[in-house]
Amino acid sequence: MAAARGMTRNPFGYTGMLFGAASLLFVIVHFWAGPIEPQKTIERTIAETAVSISKEVVNVIRKKPAVLQERHWNHDDLVRIAGAGLAALALVLAAIGFVRREDHRPVIVGAGLGGGAIAFGFVTWLALVAAGLVIIWIVVANLGGILGAGGLGGGVRAFYRYRPPSHAVSAP
């Protein structure tokens, strides 16, 4: 009885909570379940890119207009868009509930769940970028160790400062 009374007094806050929870569920399940559609191999992607570049070069040489490719939507794109859309809807409903001076708890929870769903995507993207930068840093450090002088980037600097040993025979 009390829940029904709260729903009639705070419709935007509770609806925002519902959409925020659904969006967070979409985002987290899609993240943990992985891609729904089968992914192309790296070799196939590189081959398709090379073929499209060569076709485009031929079209430019023959002065033909560029051919625009259609966007193909797959299930992963639809789930990602649904999660972001539900999160945005939760934020809008929470804002409307706040302006209408509804009870603050459902409004805050709806905004938190919607904002959390949006932030989850950004945080995972930033974590992957940071991991990629760390991998690049490790590769550069190992190249520095291979080229000489060791340390992070020391190999590149040492390569340009290289001087032959003093006992080397110089030309007369």
**pLDDT given for residue 63 in this prediction:** 83
The model's pTM: 0.68
Decide if 6 is inside a domain. Answer: yes
Domain count, the chain: 1
How many CB atoms are located within 10 Å of the residue 86 CB? 23
Write the CA distances from 56 to 35, 44, 128, 168, integer angstroms.
30, 18, 32, 54
Mean pLDDT of 102-116: 94
**pLDDT given for residue 147 in this prediction:** 64
Decide if 10 is inside a domain. Answer: yes
The residue length of the chain stands at: 172
More confident residue, 109 or 172: 109
Write the CA distances from 63 to 55, 57, 66, 69, 130, integer angstroms.
12, 10, 9, 18, 42
Decide if 72 is inside a domain. Answer: yes
pLDDT band for position 5 (50/70/90)?
low
* Contact (Cβ atoms closer than 8 angstroms) between residue 116 and residue 27: no
Decide if 169 is inside a domain. Answer: no
Q: Is the pLDDT of residue 55 over 90?
A: no
Q: Is the pLDDT of residue 41 over 60?
A: yes
Decide if 20 is inside a domain. Answer: yes
Residue carrying structure tokens 């769903």: 117
Decide if 165 is inside a domain. Answer: no
Q: Is the pLDDT of residue 151 over 60?
A: no
* Contact (Cβ atoms closer than 8 angstroms) between residue 121 and residue 88: no
Highest mean pLDDT among 58-62, 121-125, 145-149: 121-125
Domain extent at residue 95: 2-122
Decide if 87 is inside a domain. Answer: yes
